[in-house]
């Protein structure tokens, strides 16, 4: 069985995410949100009127050699 750790610290519109994989961060409001993961990927999400939600991830996982 694996273990999991997650802690989130809010600093105004920014949020720092601490996990066992590293440190990530995010910022934004309810309609537009940008997240950077510990492995370098970026995810942008947009909420539109009528319940629509669009999301796009940029960058792939880094390969460890």
Q: How does pLDDT run across 18-38, given as a tens digit for each residue?
A: 998 899 999 998 899 999 998
Q: Cα(35)–Cα(40) distance, rounded to whole angstroms?
A: 10
Q: Look over the chain and give the mean of its residue pLDDT values, rounded to a whole number.
A: 88
Distance from chain centroid for Cα 39: 11
Average pLDDT over residues 30-47: 93
At 36 the pLDDT is: 94
């Amino acid at each position: 069985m694996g273990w999991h750790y997650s802690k989130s610290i809010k600093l105004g519109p920014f949020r720092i995410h601490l996990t066992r994989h590293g440190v990530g961060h995010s910022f934004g409001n309810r309609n537009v949100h940008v997240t950077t993961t510990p492995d370098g990927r970026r995810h942008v999400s947009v909420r539109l009127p009528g319940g629509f939600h669009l999301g796009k991830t940029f960058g792939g996982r880094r390969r460890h050699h």
